[in-house]
Amino acid sequence: ITVRADQPGAAVPKTMFGLFFEDINFAADGGLYPELVKNKSFELPEPLLGWRALRGGAALEAYQVRTDGPANPASPHYLRLAARTASPDAGVINDGFRGMGVKQGEEYTLTLLARRPAGDVRRLRVTLEGDKGAPLAEAALPLPAGAEWQPLTLTLRPAATFAKARLRLVLDGAGTVDLDAVSLYPKTTWIGRPNGLRPDLVQLLKDLKPGFLRFPGGCIVEGRTLSNRYQWKQTIGEVASRQPMINRWNTEFAHRFTPDYYQSFGLGFFEYFQLSEDIGAEPLPILNVGMACQYNSAELAPLGAAGPSAPAGHDHAQDDPTLDTFIQDALDLLEFANGPATSPWGARRVAMGHPAPFNLKYLGVGNEQWGPQYLERYEPFAKAVKAKYPRVQLVSSAGPSPDGASFDLATKRLREMPAGLVDLIDEHYYARPEWFREHAGRYDNYPRTGPKIFAGEYAAHPQGVGNAKNRNTWDAALSEAAFMTGLERNADVVQMASYAPLFAHVDAWQWAPDLIWFDNLQAYGTPSYYVQQLFSLHKGTRVLPVQLPAGAKNGQDGLYVSAVADGNDVVVKLVNYAATPRPVQLDLNGLKRPAKTGQAQVLAAADLQTENSLQEPRKLAPAVQSFALKEGRASYRLAPYSLTVLRVASQ
């Protein structure tokens, strides 16, 4: 294998390998967003989701959600509890998100709004319950007398670590108590930020050194109907006023059905921008283009005047949106992210605590949509955005399956759009592992002019797409690695790529496989995670040509190769999809003053069914070795079923 270090080719974009985040599999509420109370504000269509009454014999006479005299008119529902007699057992329990993960000695802040319209309940007895109801932390929360709402707070410090704790609130006395905005939030968050994120999960993201963060999805963007589409404006501002919504993945169409899934939007667009900044990733929001999911309702917003009409700063509520509404949302988002403090939406960002712009450069328009309805909405949308923000890169969607006719049609029509309206086409590939190995050369002969490619969602599904038995095996990850050598080799065309989905809760997922799995306390990266990490950390700066022995083709006999320059280093990625070791002769042709020792990062397992788990999080993880070179040449033996990243410095 000869790597032409003296012939650097296309630049590898800084955005090459990034992240796809969607609130699927409890990725946000119950995952990255660490609020422990489920349904804290009683605003869902099923207002008592997550709560259970403690009847205290017959002592509890009221357990009801009401709206008269609310604490916050923007979030009008609250819970009324009334005990006819004093009981040690009259109150409520919140079960959290498949339990609440709490750690010994750490602090958890309970906040709530309360009032005492009648009777003599002077305190709430607050307990964090562990195994079989054993108390992990207990405290009494005094309830001031009176019919006015009061904000109350206390800190709980569990005596033990437990993944499935519950919060128990008991009335101390007889009488009526109203509760709202009941929150239990860990003090320890990512960089200690209030309303901050779960640190171990953010760290796993940061460790991937991602080039971009795509959010908020996925199908979440579209909604099953337009009424439950993602509306970014309703996810910013005061957290207490953000209205929750049933999650689009709360559906029998998912690989697995979880009927209790909702979105609180505590993690909203401001927090996504902050997260992008924290992990050094370019933010890439995907917006709705006036179409609900084409698989579900295919509901369309009328085209309207096909241009922005609403005044700047207009904050549309649940309405009958036309395409203009969606265009205005996009323009307002750019102003929110990048505008000065003097602009209406820029001022909203500043008020939320981020005076500096977020420097948003990319915007996705629709997700997995195709056909004439998409194209006739895309064009006026793109024209309006480009007219006001010509430098913003627009990402258009293509149909869902790369082998489908709709996909080819969408891609063809997008390529025919007026110049400059489509910067990147978002292609998705969910397929069996062999598809990835067989299509590693997908972009080798792709047109070099026109829109670039954003490989916005991909993952190998060993049991076929949609099968709940799919596992994150080494077979899947190694096949993705083979495919990624083709992405890297064609970095002039493929400018961004992200595995999907990103997160899954082991007790509450709807889709598998996924990149990172977690429970309420711990998390681990799958073999696919380490493949992503090796490519991302070693993405380099320029593609280098690779020459194989005469007659051999990349991908032949299970050998896949790509190479990049990384400053003065040469990095070669080799996939050996074979059960036997494979000796290779490496010639780093043209590398000036090559070092005598190189570094090898090896991800290998002879058993293709190998997986990581909460118990064995690094069963399969890269091992670092060194290897010898003589004048830029080396004999190297690739392990059976392995991804090897060889790095050689120029001295």
Task: Confirm or reject binding of residue 219 to ligand AHR (CB under 6 A).
Answer: yes
* Residue 474-513 contact track with ligand AHR, rule CB under 6 A, x = bound: --------------------------xx---------x--
Q: Write down the residue that tokens 């005044």 correspond to.
A: 311
Sign, CA dihedral 239-242-248-250, equals: positive
Within 8 A by CB and 6+ apart from 616, the residues are none
Task: Confirm or reject binding of residue 470 to ligand AHR (CB under 6 A).
Answer: no
Does residue 131 sit in helix, strand or coil?
helix
What does the alpha-carbon distance between residue 353 and residue 367 come to, in Å, rounded to a whole number? Answer: 30
Stretch that binds ligand AHR, among 213-221, 337-345, 626-634, 638-646 (CB under 6 A): 213-221
- Is 368 labeled as catalytic in the residue annotation? yes
Residue whose Cβ sits closest to ligand AHR: 218
Q: Report in angstroms how near the CB of residue 25 gets to ligand AHR at its nearest.
A: 9
Stretch that binds ligand AHR, among 3-11, 144-152, 216-224, 281-289 (CB under 6 A): 216-224
| Residue number, 457 or 488, with CB nearest to ligand AHR | 457
Chain mean position to CA 474? 22
Phi-psi region of 204 (alpha: psi -120 to 50; beta: other; left: phi over 0): alpha
What does the alpha-carbon distance between residue 259 and residue 262 come to, in Å, rounded to a whole number? Answer: 9
Among 231, 367, 393, 495, binds ligand AHR (CB under 6 A): 367
Task: Confirm or reject binding of residue 400 to ligand AHR (CB under 6 A).
Answer: yes
| Residue number, 346 or 400, with CB nearest to ligand AHR | 400
What does the alpha-carbon distance between residue 23 and residue 592 come to, in Å, rounded to a whole number? Answer: 48
| Residue number, 121 or 502, with CB nearest to ligand AHR | 502
| Residue number, 381 or 430, with CB nearest to ligand AHR | 430
- Count of residues near ligand AHR by CB under 6 A: 12
Within 8 A by CB and 6+ apart from 328, the residues are 308, 309, 310, 314, 316
Q: Report in angstroms how near the CB of residue 531 gets to ligand AHR at its nearest.
A: 17
Q: Report in angstroms how near the CB of residue 229 gets to ligand AHR at its nearest.
A: 13
Within 8 A by CB and 6+ apart from 615, the residues are none
| Residue number, 364 or 598, with CB nearest to ligand AHR | 364
| Residue number, 249 or 336, with CB nearest to ligand AHR | 249
Stretch that binds ligand AHR, among 217-225, 278-286, 469-477, 637-645 (CB under 6 A): 217-225
CA distances 11 to 181, 301, 542, Å, are: 50, 40, 4
Residues 58 to 77 in contact with ligand AHR, rule: CB under 6 A: none
Active-site residue (options: 43, 129, 335, 368): 368
Within 8 A by CB and 6+ apart from 486, the residues are 439, 440, 441, 442, 443, 444, 554, 560, 562
* Residue 507-546 contact track with ligand AHR, rule CB under 6 A, x = bound: ----x-----------------------------------
User: What is the dihedral angle through the alpha carbons of 118, 121, 126, 129, rounded to the nearest 10 degrees?
Assistant: -90
Among 101, 218, 266, 308, binds ligand AHR (CB under 6 A): 218
Q: Report in angstroms how near the CB of residue 293 gets to ligand AHR at its nearest.
A: 9
Single out the residue of 65, 183, 83, 167 nearest to residue 126, CA to CA. 167
| Residue number, 367 or 495, with CB nearest to ligand AHR | 367
Q: Report in angstroms how near the CB of residue 368 gets to ligand AHR at its nearest.
A: 5
| Residue number, 347 or 506, with CB nearest to ligand AHR | 506
Residues 423 to 462 in contact with ligand AHR, rule: CB under 6 A: 457
Q: Report in angstroms how near the CB of residue 503 gets to ligand AHR at its nearest.
A: 11
Q: Report in angstroms how near the CB of residue 233 gets to ligand AHR at its nearest.
A: 21
Helix or strand holding residue 284 (H, E): strand 282-287
Distance, first Cα to last Cα, the chain = 22
CA distances 572 to 495, 561, 562, 578, Å, are: 19, 7, 6, 18
| Residue number, 511 or 577, with CB nearest to ligand AHR | 511
Stretch that binds ligand AHR, among 127-135, 215-223, 565-573, 576-584 (CB under 6 A): 215-223
Tokens linked to 569: 């280093």
Q: Find out whether 281 and 496 touch, Cβ atoms under 8 Å.
A: no
| Residue number, 511 or 636, with CB nearest to ligand AHR | 511
Q: Write down the residue that tokens 């709360």 correspond to.
A: 250
Residue type, 361: K
The pair phi, psi for residue 362, each rounded to 5°, is: -125, 145
> What would the DSSP string read from start to end of 150-169?
EEEEEEE--SS-EEEEEEEE
Q: Report in angstroms how near the CB of residue 428 gets to ligand AHR at its nearest.
A: 6
Q: Report in angstroms how near the CB of residue 248 gets to ligand AHR at its nearest.
A: 8
Tokens linked to 168: 């128990």
| Residue number, 308 or 501, with CB nearest to ligand AHR | 501
User: What is the dihedral angle through the alpha carbons of 294, 284, 320, 74, rounded to the nearest 10 degrees?
Assistant: 130
The pair phi, psi for residue 274, each rounded to 5°, is: -60, -45
Q: Report in angstroms how near the CB of residue 322 gets to ligand AHR at its nearest.
A: 24
What does the alpha-carbon distance between residue 443 and residue 441 come to, in Å, rounded to a whole number? Answer: 6
Task: Confirm or reject binding of residue 392 to ligand AHR (CB under 6 A).
Answer: no
Tokens linked to 580: 């036997």
Tokens linked to 47: 């207002």
Task: Confirm or reject binding of residue 402 to ligand AHR (CB under 6 A).
Answer: no
Q: Find out whether 428 and 445 touch, Cβ atoms under 8 Å.
A: no
Q: Report in angstroms how near the CB of residue 218 gets to ligand AHR at its nearest.
A: 3
Stretch that binds ligand AHR, among 10-18, 32-40, 212-220, 554-562 (CB under 6 A): 212-220
Among 129, 271, 368, 427, binds ligand AHR (CB under 6 A): 368
Sheet with strand 212-215: strands edge to edge:
19-20, 212-215, 282-287, 362-365, 393-397, 424-431, 452-460, 494-499
Residues with active-site annotation: 368
Interface residue list for ligand AHR (CB under 6 A): 22, 24, 217-219, 367-368, 400, 457, 500-501, 511
